[in-house]
Amino acid sequence: MATQQYKAWSVVIMSTLAFTVCFMIWMMFAVIGIPIKETLGLNETQFGILVATPVLTGSLIRLPLGMWTDKFGGRIVFTVLMLSTVIPIWLISYATEFWHFLVVGLFVGVAGGSFTVGIAYCARWFPKHQQGTAMGIFGAGNTGAAVTKLVAPIIVVGYGWTMVPKVYAVLMLVMAIVFWFFTFSDPSHKVGKSVTVREQLAALKDPKVWRYSQYYSIVFGGYVALALWMTKYYVGEYGFDLKTAAFLAAAFSIPGGVLRAIGGYFSDKFGAHTVTWWVLWVSLVCLFFLSYPQTSFTIQTVNGSASFSLGLSATVFTIIMFTLGIVFAIGKASVFKYISDDYPDNIGVVSGVVGLAGGLGGFLMPIMFGALLDLTGIRTSAFMLMFGVVWVSLMWMYFTEVRPVHADLHEKSLTTNL
């Protein structure tokens, strides 16, 4: 008979693999969307809507999936979720009109809801002091975005973009079967039948939940948005072909997934607040440099005209994006450490709310990226938008977490001196 420890780690490993596959599929349009855009003659805003549509469903469904996970257990919910997406994924290859892709994309997007299921499923198998690490390991499934950028272009070049959904549909079916046979259920992890939906949703009244949602809208929502947008950005800004652009875009996606486990470890060791505070500051600095557009200007000197150019080369841009991917990975784990610390008995619902907010960020931002690009013609306007979102998050954290702590310490100091 399998030991509790074996079951726990088997659940984490299989959930991570399943989440990786789900995230590959969730990010599929980041690659196949480029040839689809050319075929259909879409503008930038329409392209943003195309790549973001699956993210919408995957975001909205996170709250009910979190509730169902608390009620029925992660094993059954995760398996049914994966099986429900197999046919829609396959049907993408037969779409020919813009609205076809949007409708099918909504059903495929259900795969993105797997995060809320897995995070609650994995966390309950571990004691509180290890939950950050366990959730961080599971969250490494975000690497699926990078896997898609490495695998999908090869399929597109060799067999055409329509082969990608077919391969991914078969992969999802196989993963669902393997997941079911190598995971376990524990009745003690489910909430009691006496717990009502109203009681589960009571967390929505807690202002901390909305604050954590704001943090997650940038570290996860921003990650999803950039993972969807970066391949096209490299093609447009630096003139790379699809394979090279996707490969370079993976430099952001890989650390954004793999290093989430390290973020969980740091959060267990130093606390969610400290880690998240530094994540937001480093993100702000990275986005400041990324926001500066390619600029050429001429000045008049005593010796005549002198021309200068300012802007990030592809190499420097990729290095900064790699750094941003690292801090986003750590931040995704630290935000969920807040949740496991503050809501140990309601992880599914709260993670569903926070995950929904993060997913909506990932849905709205690509559309806003496209709209801003159509409006201004400046590609770096995407980073300008994200800079503003991070600044709002920092201010919110300062006035609700940092400042009150400093005030308490000052008050205690005065009391001690008296």
Decide: 250 and 234 in contact? Cβ < 8 Å. no
Decide: 263 and 131 in contact? Cβ < 8 Å. no
* Cα gap 363→271, rounded to integer Å: 29
Question: 39-43 — which CB contacts under 8 Å span 24+ positions?
Answer: 40/97, 40/98, 42/98, 43/370, 43/374
**The pair of three-digit structure tokens given for residue 261, joined into one six-digit string:** 């486990």
**The pair of three-digit structure tokens given for residue 148, joined into one six-digit string:** 């898609």
Decide: 12 and 138 in contact? Cβ < 8 Å. yes
* Segment 249-268 mean pLDDT: 80
Tokens 């990729």 appear where?
318
Decide: 299 and 314 in contact? Cβ < 8 Å. no
pLDDT of residue 401: 81
For residue 418, is pLDDT > 60?
Answer: no
The angle formed by the CA atoms of residues 53, 216 and 119, to the nearest 5 degrees, is 85
The radius of gyration of the chain from alpha carbons, rounded to an integer in Å, stands at 22
pLDDT category of residue 198 using cuts at 50, 70 and 90:
low
pLDDT of residue 351: 77
pLDDT of residue 233: 92
Tokens 């689809």 appear where?
36
For residue 30, is pLDDT > 90?
Answer: no
For residue 66, is pLDDT > 90?
Answer: no
pLDDT of residue 86: 96
DSSP-assigned beta bridge partners for residue 305 = 300
* Cα gap 36→33, rounded to integer Å: 5
* Cα gap 9→400, rounded to integer Å: 36
**The pair of three-digit structure tokens given for residue 269, joined into one six-digit string:** 């060791």
Q: Is the pTM of this model over 0.85?
A: no
pLDDT of residue 284: 95
Q: What is the distance, to the nearest Å, from the Cα of residue 96 to the centroid of all Cα atoms in its chain? A: 28
The separation between the first and the last C-alpha atoms of the chain, rounded to the nearest angstrom, is: 62
**CATH architecture assigned to 4-184+200-294+308-417:** Up-down Bundle (1.20)
pLDDT of residue 55: 87
**The pair of three-digit structure tokens given for residue 265, joined into one six-digit string:** 């470890």
Mean pLDDT over all residues of the chain?
A: 85
414 class by beta-carbon count within 10 Å (0-12 exposed, 13-18 middle, 19+ buried): exposed
- Choice between 237 and 336, residue whose per-residue pLDDT is larger: 237
* Cα gap 279→405, rounded to integer Å: 19
- Choice between 273 and 91, residue whose per-residue pLDDT is larger: 91
For residue 276, give the nearest of 206, 336, 355 by alpha carbon.
336
